[in-house]
Amino acid sequence: MWLGVLCGLLAGAMWGLVFIVPEYLGAFSPLELAVGRYVAYGAMAFGLLLPRLKSLFATLLPGDYAALLRHALAGNIVYYMLLAMGVKYAGVAPTSLIIGMLPVVVTLLGRNDHGAVPLRRLALPLLLVGVGIACINVDTFMHVDAAQSTGAIALGVLCATGALLCWSWYAVDNARYLKRNPQFSSAQWSALYGLSTGVVAVLLGAGAFAWSLASGDPKQASPTRDWTLFWACNALLALGASVIGNHLWNVASRRVPVTLSGQLILFETLFALLYGFLYRGHGPRPLEIAAIALLVAGVTWSVRAHAGDQDALAFEASALQAGHADLAEGDGVAGAAHRHQS
């Protein structure tokens, strides 16, 4: 289980970057940001899958294609568009705070899954998480920029809430699907997931480009829109947050119960806040420090609750046994990628 916890932490470090890029590339629309990121992700996934693409496609069933499509939409494209709109209209901090409720929502959705700790044992850890998020919310709305309109903030909050719902459903459905289908390694499923997302992103991008040409959108020729920077940022985000982050998360999803995976998602919020402090150029305020301490305490407590639970220990043993093949497959994909790059 502890390997799963470490992978979840590192995935959070990768995912925290997605809250900064929309702020950094503010001249681009949420749709453009989503298309750019996931076209790059799809291209990288295609490169990873190329040596075994034909044989892998031969093993896919209609249910696998359906799962890949719904995960591509809910877990990637729609989620990131809503997140980018939340950052654009409400700011980095409020958006990361709302999405920081993922542990609570995912825990509730996965409360009946195998290996889940009874909610009564998670009540106090979840209370700490809730109080921590409340502290950040209070601090955020105590320091609202006077230039922001109430309507824009409300729209941003609504979009961030939509992103929360999208990713909560994806996290639970993806974890359950991986556990029901051990024939896919974490690396294979992550690459297939990226490839399917890239195909959808290309179709969306082509449609949006055709629409902009037909409507004569003046933004396409704007000198403030640095397309070189756009593609560089999205390529780095695709590699770090999508290829590496999603692979780490798939490994974690196989090795921890769904209720614990919900708590590990909180690392994304913590890293997003850290990157936000660095981007703003100053450290956290007192309420932000209190919030971070409460969030870390809540996650640590939840990990200990799972580690002490006999069902979780049994889950760990079975997952580790099944994981030998997964690790071997992961090494094979990494080797194939290296050979392809060479």
Q: Are 258 and 175 in contact (CB under 8 A)?
A: yes
Which spans in the chain are helix H?
Answer: 2-15, 21-24, 30-49, 53-59, 62-71, 78-90, 92-99, 102-109, 119-142, 150-180, 186-215, 227-237, 245-255, 258-264, 266-280, 286-307, 310-341
The sign of the CA dihedral 85, 90, 92, 94 is negative
Which pLDDT belongs to residue 311? Answer: 46
The rounded percent of the chain whose pLDDT value lies above 90 is: 25
Structure tokens at 111: 């409360």
Q: 134-138, 304-308, 327-331: which range is least confident on average?
A: 327-331
What pLDDT, in 10s, does the model give residues 158-207? 999 999 999 889 988 988 898 888 888 777 787 788 899 999 999 999 98
Q: Of 82, 83, 76, whose CA–CA distance to 201 is shortest?
A: 76
- Convert 83-114 to b/e letters by CB count within 10 Å (16 or more is b): bbbbbbbbbbbbbbbbbbbbbbbbbebbeebe
Is the confidence at residue 315, as pLDDT, over 60?
Answer: no
Cα–Cα distance measured from residue 268 to residue 292, given in angstroms and rounded to the nearest whole number: 12
Residue 222 to residue 220: CA distance in whole angstroms: 6
Could you give the CA distance from residue 274 to residue 17 in angstroms, rounded to a whole number? 10
Q: Which two tokens stand for residue 229?
A: 């920077």
- Let me know the angle formed at the C-alpha of 97 by 37 and 243, rounded to the nearest 5 degrees: 25
23-29 long-range CB contacts below 8 Å, 24 or more apart?
23/87, 23/92, 23/279, 24/233, 24/279, 25/229, 25/230, 25/233, 26/88, 27/222, 27/224, 27/225, 27/226, 28/225, 28/230, 29/219
Would you say residue 81 has pLDDT above 90?
yes
Instruction: Give the start-to-end residue ranges of the domains of the chain.
Output: 2-341
Token digits for 86? Answer: 């939340």
Integer Cα distance of 172 and 72 in angstroms: 14
Token representation of residue 161: 């809430």
- Tens digits of residue pLDDT in 90-129: 888 788 878 877 777 777 777 776 666 677 777 888 888 8
Tokens (6 digits) for 116: 């889940």
pLDDT at 214 over 70: yes
CA distance 48 to 192: 10
Res. 335: pLDDT tops 50: no
261: pLDDT strictly greater than 60: yes
Q: In the structure, what pLDDT confidence band is assigned to residue 221 with cuts at 50, 70 and 90?
A: low
pTM of the model: 0.75
What is the CB neighbour count within 10 angstroms for residue 220? 11
Q: Which residue has the higher pLDDT, 81 or 151?
A: 81
CB of 49 within 8 A of CB of 56?
A: yes
Query: Residue 264: CA atoms inside 13 Å, Cβ hemisphere, count?
Result: 32
pLDDT of residue 317 exceeding 50, the answer is no
Residue 324 predicted with pLDDT over 80: no
